[in-house]
Amino acid sequence: MMNYYSPLRYVVPPDEEGFYLKTILQNRMGLSRKLLSRLKLTEQGITVNGKREYISIKVNVGDVIEIRMQEEESEDILPQDLPLEILYEDEHLLIVNKESGMIVHPTHGHYLNTVANAAVHHWKERGENVRFRPVHRLDQETSGVLAIAKNPYVHQQISEQMIAHSITKEYLAIVHGTVAEDRGTIDAPIDRDPEQPHIRIVTPSGYRAVTHYETVRRYDGITLVRLMLETGRTHQIRVHMKHLGHPLLGDKMYGPEADVPVRKSDGSPAGEARDAAEGCAAGEGVRGAHEADSAAGGLARPSAAGFAAGEAPTADVSGGVPGAPAAAPSSAADDAAGPELARQALHAYRLGFVHPGTRERVEFTAPLPADMQAVLDACE
C-alpha cells in the first residue's frame, strides 16, 4: 500500500467554471510538466471530489481538486543525532537556523555531520518519511535561515519564486573598514577566476550579479551591513563586498586574511570578544550615523542587540552604485576581529516567500549568532 504526504487542495471558484483540469493544475496550482506526469501515474496522485480523474475533464464550481505525492526517503543519507535549531516546521517545510561550520548536504568524502544527516534523524524520530530537499544552499561557514522542502511540489514552487526574484533574502555581515555610503547597489558580473576555478571574481564577461546593501552601524574600523540579494551567484556577497573595498571579516578566501598570517583564538565567543576588544580598546568606538539620515527619512539603525532580538531596519535600497570603492580596510579592523573570527562574518538573517501550502507570504528570521555578536559587543 502506498503512503502519501498530506494532500494539497484547490477549490474551483465561480470564474473558473468549465476550465480543463489540466489548466487548473498547471496555471492555478503551478504544477510543472514533470511533476504533473508523475502524479498522473500515481494511484491517488490527482483526484476531484475524492475520485481519480483524467486531466482532460472540465471542472465545476466548488469542485475540490487534490494532489498527493508518495512519501520518499533519502536512502543515501545516514540519520545522525545532531543539534538542529528548528525555526518552523509543518507538513510542507522545515526551516532551520544553520550553525556555522555545518555543510548543508553530504558530499564525496564528507558523509556525516551535515544538516541533511540531522534533518533525516529528526524526521525518523517523528515517524516521517521525507526526502531531504534544500531549497537553497548556504556556504559551510555561513550561518542562518535555511529552507528545506518536504515534498517535490513545495521544492518546485519555491524554486520558481527564486527564479522570478520574488523571494526575500537578507544577510548581515561584518566587513572591514568604514562603509561611507548609507545604502547602495553593487551591479557587477561574476564568474570563475580562470587561474583558480574555485575562486569567483568580478569580470565584464561574467554573469549578472546584483547585491543591495545598507549600512546598519559603523564601528571603529569595521561596519555592520545588511545585504539583499537580487541574484544568487556563488560567493556573491563575499565577492561583491571585496569589490567594494570592504571584504568580510574572517573571510580566508576573499579577505585580507588570505594574504597574511592568521593568529588563531580559542574559537569560543568569549575568546572572540576578548580578541576583538584588543583591537577596539584604542579606537573611537561606535561612529554615529549621518545626520542627514533623519532629515531625509533614511535608514534607522538599530543597535546590534536589536538585531539579536529580531529587529530589522527598513529602507528603500534602490540607491545607485557607489562611484568608487570605499577606503581600504584599516589596521584597526585587522587587529579587531577579522583574523580571530573563526569564519567569515556572514549570517543569513531573513528569508521570505509565498508558502506553497497556504499561499500566504511568510518570513523567517534567525538572530545574530554569538560569535558575530561578540565581535560587535567588544567594539561598543
| Residues labelled as active-site residues | 139
Share of the chain above pLDDT 90, in %: 64
* 80 CA to centre of own chain: 24
Any residues with CB less than 8 A from the CB of 34 and at least 6 apart, and which? none
- The rounded distance, in Å, linking the Cα atoms of 17 and 19 is 6
In tens, the pLDDT along 116-140 reads 999 999 999 999 999 999 999 899 9
Find out whether 256 and 247 touch, Cβ atoms under 8 Å.
yes
Please, which pLDDT band fits residue 163 given cuts at 50, 70 and 90? Answer: confident
The residue ranking higher by pLDDT, 281 or 208, is 208
Pull the grid cell for residue 157: 514552487
Please, which pLDDT band fits residue 108 given cuts at 50, 70 and 90? Answer: confident
Query: What average pLDDT does this structure show over 225-242?
Result: 94
Q: What distances in angstroms separate CA 162 from CA 165, 318, 344, one per listed residue? A: 5, 20, 25
Q: Is the pLDDT of residue 333 over 80?
A: no
Please, which pLDDT band fits residue 335 given cuts at 50, 70 and 90? Answer: very low
Q: Is the pLDDT of residue 236 over 90?
A: yes
pTM for this model (two decimals): 0.75
Find out whether 315 and 299 touch, Cβ atoms under 8 Å.
yes
